[in-house]
Structure formats: structure tokens, C-alpha cells
Amino acid sequence: MLMPKETYKNHYEELFSDENWLVETHEWNQQKQAFRETQFTIGNGDLCLRGVLEENPYDSYAGTYISGIYDRTGAQITEIVNLPNPLPIRIDVYGEKLDPVATDIVHHHRTLDLKTATLYRHSVYKTTHKKRLNYISRRFVSLHDKNLVVMEVEVTPLDAAMTINMQTGIDTGVTNKGTVTEGRKKHFMTCETSIKTGYNYLCVETFEKKVFVAYASALEIVYNGKARTVSERAVNLRVLKNETIIFRKYITVRSSSSAGLAEIKKETLSALKKARNKGFERLIAEHNAAWQKKWSVCDINIEGDEDATRALRFNIYHLIICGSETNDDASIGAKTLSGEGYRGHIFWDTELFILPFFIYTNPKVARNLLMYRYRRLDAARNNAAAKGYEGALFPWESADTGEECTPSWAKNFDGSIIKIVTMDEEHHIVSDIAYAFSNYAKVTGDESFLWKHAIELIVETARFWTSRVVLNRKKRRYEILHAMGPDEFHEDVDNNAYTNVLAKWNLLAACDLLAKTARKSPARLKQISKKLRIKPKEIAMWKNLGDRIHIPFSKKKRLIEQFDGYFRLNDHRITQLNDHFMPELPISLDWKDVSKTQFIKQADVVMLLYLLNDHFSHEEKRRNYYYYERRTLHKSSLSPAIHSIVGLEVGDEDKALHYFAHALSTDLSDIHGNSSDGIHAASAGGTWQAAIMGFAGLRPHDDFLALNPHLPSNWKKMSFAIWWRGALLKIRITSKKTGVEITKNPKNSKIFLQVYDQTQFLKPKGITCFERPETKRKKKRRES
């Protein structure tokens, strides 16, 4: 007979938000430990901590990352630094170390409450003496006090009194995870430690860049209803059966590359003192209020599809916690600040997949992300010059300095080691970045950014293309040879359509911007032309090159050809799907031969249809979408969300929903099997875009914002907010109508909106309503 499952008490449960905000696990599974650590990462945009258990069980991987702190060992590749771990709390009873690997665990439950960005845990241990200990904990990285981490652990012996030994500290024993070829690396050394009454202090310094990172921590013990602060890092306490002892740890973390040792110490300690004076409850209240404010803009609520809502919140949460509002010298790596995948490097993922979320929900962060690139324009100029090009060539993988950081070797899907050529061929990153600058300026209407930064960057990237294209005299056209598009299965191709069309866009965008500047402010144009040494002849050249760049197209098939010769490659059918209903390489083929086939890794032409969607007719989109979608293996997490959006554009709701669901669960269900290395940031950003640019059909235009919603039948209502031209719009969409309300408009901008086929200025107060044309028609019919 099955015994009824014992229920254990966890009073934190009363604090949980409703289940549409919770990400939970109800099991301890050692194989999934690293994946859960990624999933349960907490942070505040500047500092992130992987969701490691407090006890640091065997094989756990504590990760503490600060936005923008990278380092390098010798001639090896620059990587994000894994800093000392402030979280360890070790508990021993009867000389036994309690942790889920070492000890029997009879109950284990972890909950990330996305609404308050608080990580909760409940475990029950059974010692070898068969005595149980109830263990609950919670922690958060404050969104209100950007330097503060607060944690609490409560233990209660359930069967008999226990002598509990607790040890805590800041663990400097951590290293970067490393790679097989480079080994594990430590990027810092300790420069100061002190244990004083009321606090502990630690300061480390990174080896190469000499950045100080300081930690001050205080430990409070609540026992017998009395709270006391202790300076010892180890305590021994006799705790009676059913009595609870609480350990609270307050940690402040500060980093600086300019402050001296004394200064950073003073700041870190004073932040700790301030936090202690506020007290535990107030710190929680302030943190929760900051998140409430954040979600009031960032949340997307889909009534009728609670699973999608929860999954979207999970993805949005992970974007929020890695985007800095204060640092305009750092960007977001492909794996956020939740792991060391791709060594924390920054790719095109940021500008095209992640940035749109911030442009529309937190333009301050978006501006910082762009400023990161702008500040590295000189490095990009040097990179271009070193390779014999004009203008600016941004690195394929970037870290702190803006120099190229792509490693030369990596592991392929079949485990073999392959040479990497992305840095020499994926030059599309140049126009991807220019596109992002233009997108930000268009959506925000931030003219000062446009004049001061965007024009310069768009001009310098256009200049790059003038030196990258070659003239094919015979065919009287310009070509881009030896390139790689987003589809990384095909290296060294000529005239990749994505690259060529975006290069063309970049060249013509530079002309366009200068022409607009000439119309608006001739004085400004003079200034810019002087600073960037632009001559009318040069502008004419950009126009000529842009107009004459070859875009591969098959008249016979009436399709864009992904690159010259693509249609001559072997064309196989996808015959097998994996457990996630995603295509597999047919077993008759070998990975090493994939480049000889028309199989592609990720959205390439389809990405183009999305980015420059008003350059293509509906029919062109439809034909190209179906051709390439059938040949895409989605071996990059960047691919599904884009296929969802373009699926909707061509009217295929089934495909849109299929790919949306897939993208949503990328890191909720570890779909690619590598979430342990960090959250797939581009996929997370892609889910936001699929919801807003896809299902809500949002598109920015020069003079207005357009919405063309398409809600699946089970979605009753979709609500979200966006910033457009300095105003905060709350948008509610149902199958019958769309309501838009201006909730903030400090500059009193006039907002012109097109929804379905109707255009109107939004009322300054109250909700402006747009009825679906079908609803209107039905109403009319009823009336007549």
C-alpha cells in the first residue's frame, strides 16, 4: 500500500504570487542541477547570481557575474569573470554535511517567483541517524539597491533536538568553467579581507584589467525570537525539536576600475550600513515595489493562454535581469549573466533579438546597449583598417574592448573540433548594428542620439561596405564574396542575400539620413560632414553601390536564392522530428556533409523577410517562407521565434504557434540541452518579439505606429505596454477590438496610430478604440 505523502510546512508559500508567475521544480535531480542553476538565476541588470544551492553540493556551479567585467589570461580569449560567490551557507549536523548529493533528501521544492524576482526553496533532509531537518530559504538581488543581495535560511529539526553547525562566507574558491583546450581559469586575486564586529569584508582584483570587486556582508541570527548580528563565520547551536533558527545574510557588492582600495571599501561598507539600518522587511518591500513598477511596463498578459503568459514572463524576466540601466559601457552576452556559454561574448543577438524588447519597454537600457557599440566605434575602425577595409567592422564576438574575440576552434554538433571562420565572414553584423541604431532612433524619436551617435555609426558602417563589395565588371554589379549569412551551415559563400540586402540597406540608410539632415538642419549637416569628412561625392558613391548590389534571385523558382549556387545543392526532405517536434538531419546524412545540402541552420532569408518586411510583397514573403522553412533545422535557438513572426505575416497561424511554443520553452524545458551554460538570450528576446511584432503585429513607421493584431482563437485578451516616441501606451487587444491608452506622455507628443486599416490620433486621456473591420461589418449588417 502506498503511504500518503508527507506534507512539510513552508510558510514562505503564503508569499508566493499566483501560479502564472512561478517557475518551479518539485524534484532533486543531480543531472539537472546546472540547468536549474541557470533557470533560477536572480539579478538586477548589473549583478546576477546563478541559482546555486546554498550548500554548494558536489558538481554545483556557482556563478556571480557583473555586467561588463571581463578578463583574459595571457594570450587566451577574453571572458566574463566568475567572481566570488556570496551565497554559501553550509550546515552540518552530527558531523554530516547537509546537501542533496551527500544526504538523503525527502522533499525538495524550488520556486522562482518572477513577479518579485525572489528565489525560494524548501528541502527536508534525513540524516544517517534518520533525523529530519526542515530547510527553507529565500534570496533576492535587490532591484532597488543595485548593490545589495539579501538571503535567509531557516532550519527546523523535525524529529529530535540537533546541534547545528553553520558556516558561511564569500567563496573565493570559484573559477571560470573553462574549456577543454584552455582549462579552468581564475581571473582575480584577493587583495583585502577583514572580519570585524558586525561585518566581514573582502576585496578582490581582476588580474588583467585590475578591476576591484568588494563585498561586505553581515550575518544575523534569529533564535528564540531574538535577532543578533554575529561576526563569526561559523556558529554552533543546539536547536530543539520543532524550534526554528533563522540565518539572514546581507551582502553589498561594488566594483570599480577607478576607485582606490580605501574608497571602494568605504562605499561598500556604507552601503551595508544603510541596508542594515533599513532592516529586512523594508529591503524586501523596496525590492518588491521596484519589480512591481518594472512589470507594470514589461508584462505581457494573455488571457486564455496562461501557460504562454507564464513562459513569456520567464523569458522577459531573464531579459530584465541582464540589462543595465546605469552602465552604458556594457552589453548583454548571448547567454545573459546566467552562465559562461560563449564566454559571455556579445553577438548580433543583442542588437536584433534582445534590443527591441528594451527599445519598447525600457529605452534607457536600449540606449546603454547601443552606447556600448558606439563607444567601441574606434575599435571597429581599427579592426576594419587591420583587415584592409574602410569604415568600421564590428567584431563577430565582442567583450570589453571591442576587439575581435571569436575563438578559432569550437566543438561541432557531432563533437568534432572545427575551425571557426565566423569572424572573417559573418560581416552582416556590421549592418545588423546599424539597423539597430536606426530602429532605436525611429521608435524613440531620440533626436539627440540620432545626431550625436547614430549618424556617425551608420556612416562608418556604410563606409565599410564600400570597401567590402567588389565590382563584377562583366555583370555590371557589386558583389560580396566569401561571406557567411546567419545560416552557419554554409561557409565562404558568394552573395548571401541577407548580407547583401542589409549592406544595401546600410548604404542607402546613410544617404537617406544625410538627406533628411540636410532638409531639417543644414547647419547640423555641415557639422556632421566636417566631423566625419563626408564629401557629396562619397554620398553619391554609397547610393550607386547600394543601387547596384546584386541580390541573388531565381526567376525560374521566383525565389530569393540564399546565396549564389544554393539552389544547385542537394535538396533533401526532412523525414524525422525530434522529441520537441523539431526537424532532424536525415540519418542517411552526415553532419560534415550538411554544407552540400540545402538544409540550413537558422532563419536566413526568413530573417530578412522579417527585418525588412515592407520591402517584400505578401506573395514574396509567402513563397520564400515556405521554401526555406521546409529546409531549416533550427539548430540555433535564434530561429524559431523569427519563424513564428513571419509565419503569422504569411497567414499561417499553426506554424506561428508551433514556433512560438518552441521558443517559449527553450530554457524552461532545456530544449537544446545546453541551458546549463546560460539562458539563450536571443531566444528570450525572440519570444517578446513573436508576441508583440507577431501576434500584436506591431510595426514602427516614420510617421506612425501600426498594429495588426492576430490573436489565436483561445487568446481572449492580450495586454501589454510599450514606449513609443516618449509616450507610454497601454494596449489591450481582443478578437473584436483594440484599445490604446496613453498613460504617460511627459513631452505631450501627438501619437498617430494605425490599427487594422484605421488611422487616428490617440486621445490624450482615456482609451482610443479601434474595432476590427469584420466586427464593424457585422455590426453594420445587424443594424441594416
Active site residue ranges? 488
Instruction: Single out the segment in contact with ligand IFM by CB under 6 A; choices: 5-13, 346-354, 527-535, 771-779.
Output: 346-354
Q: Exposure string (b/e) for 241-261, b if CB count within 10 Å is 16 or more?
A: eeebbbbbbbbbbbbeeebee
Binding mask 638-677 for ligand IFM (x = CB under 6 A): x---------------------------------------
Nearer to ligand IFM (CB atom), residue 342 or residue 451: 342
- State the minimum distance, in angstroms, from the CB of residue 677 to ligand IFM: 11
Asked if 344 interacts with ligand IFM (CB under 6 A), we say no
Instruction: Single out the segment in contact with ligand IFM by CB under 6 A; choices: 135-143, 261-269, 344-352, 508-516.
Output: 344-352
- State the minimum distance, in angstroms, from the CB of residue 751 to ligand IFM: 35
- Residue 97: phi, psi to the nearest 5? -80, 125
- State the minimum distance, in angstroms, from the CB of residue 493 to ligand IFM: 15
Asked if 349 interacts with ligand IFM (CB under 6 A), we say yes
State which H helix or E strand residue 607 sits in.
helix 605-611
- State the minimum distance, in angstroms, from the CB of residue 684 to ligand IFM: 11
Which of 63, 323, 344, 486: binder of ligand IFM (CB under 6 A)?
Answer: 486
Instruction: Single out the segment in contact with ligand IFM by CB under 6 A; choices: 38-46, 210-218, 251-259, 347-355.
Output: 347-355
CA distance 626 to 461: 32
Instruction: Single out the segment in contact with ligand IFM by CB under 6 A; choices: 91-99, 132-140, 342-350, 715-723.
Output: 342-350
Between vectors from CA 88 to CA 85 and to CA 90, what angle results, nearest 5°? 160
Contact 156, 241 (CB under 8 A): no
CA–CA distances in Å: residue 720 to residues 91, 291, 723: 44, 16, 11
Residue in this structure with the C-alpha cell 525590492, named with its chain if needed: 287
CA distance 459 to 434: 9
Considering only residues 312 to 341 of the shown chain, the ones binding ligand IFM according to CB under 6 A are: 334
Nearer to ligand IFM (CB atom), residue 197 or residue 416: 416
Nearer to ligand IFM (CB atom), residue 264 or residue 436: 436
Site size for ligand IFM (CB under 6 A): 10
CA distance 66 to 324: 10
Which of 439, 636, 644, 675: binder of ligand IFM (CB under 6 A)?
Answer: 636
- Residue 499: phi, psi to the nearest 5? -60, -45
State which H helix or E strand residue 6 sits in.
none
- Residue 580: phi, psi to the nearest 5? -100, 15
Q: How far is CA 117 from the centre of its chain?
A: 16
DSSP secondary structure, 674-740, as one string: -GGG---HHHHHHHHHIIIIIIS--EE-SS-EEE-----TT--EEEEEEEETTEEEEEEEESSEEEE
Which of 12, 347, 449, 489: binder of ligand IFM (CB under 6 A)?
Answer: 347
Instruction: Single out the segment in contact with ligand IFM by CB under 6 A; choices: 47-55, 295-303, 345-353, 492-500.
Output: 345-353
Asked if 678 interacts with ligand IFM (CB under 6 A), we say no
- State the minimum distance, in angstroms, from the CB of residue 587 to ligand IFM: 24
Residue in this structure with the C-alpha cell 546565396, named with its chain if needed: 563
Nearer to ligand IFM (CB atom), residue 334 or residue 423: 334
Q: Which residues contact 143 (CB under 8 A, 6 or more apart)?
A: 44, 45, 117, 287, 290, 291, 294
- State the minimum distance, in angstroms, from the CB of residue 491 to ligand IFM: 13
HSE-CB of 738 using CA atoms within 13 angstroms = 29
Nearer to ligand IFM (CB atom), residue 348 or residue 440: 348
- Residue 551: phi, psi to the nearest 5? -115, 110
- State the minimum distance, in angstroms, from the CB of residue 683 to ligand IFM: 9
Binding mask 161-190 for ligand IFM (x = CB under 6 A): ------------------------------
- State the minimum distance, in angstroms, from the CB of residue 348 to ligand IFM: 6
Which of 348, 542, 610, 659: binder of ligand IFM (CB under 6 A)?
Answer: 348
Instruction: Single out the segment in contact with ligand IFM by CB under 6 A; choices: 343-351, 444-452, 738-746, 754-762.
Output: 343-351
- State the minimum distance, in angstroms, from the CB of residue 174 to ligand IFM: 24
For residue 623, give the C-alpha cell: 513563397
Q: What length does the chain have?
A: 784
Nearer to ligand IFM (CB atom), residue 39 or residue 116: 39
Nearer to ligand IFM (CB atom), residue 525 or residue 682: 682
For residue 261, give the C-alpha cell: 582600495
Nearer to ligand IFM (CB atom), residue 12 or residue 357: 357
Considering only residues 227 to 286 of the shown chain, the ones binding ligand IFM according to CB under 6 A are: none
Contact 753, 698 (CB under 8 A): no
- State the minimum distance, in angstroms, from the CB of residue 306 to ligand IFM: 29
CA–CA distances in Å: residue 2 to residues 26, 47, 603, 730: 19, 46, 51, 52
Nearer to ligand IFM (CB atom), residue 71 or residue 432: 432
Considering only residues 679 to 738 of the shown chain, the ones binding ligand IFM according to CB under 6 A are: 682
Q: Exposure string (b/e) for 22-45, b if CB count within 10 Å is 16 or more?
A: bbebeebeeeebbbbbbbbbbbbb
CA distance 120 to 136: 7
Nearer to ligand IFM (CB atom), residue 682 or residue 722: 682
Contacts with ligand IFM, residue ranges (CB under 6 A)? 334, 342, 347-349, 486, 488, 636, 638, 682
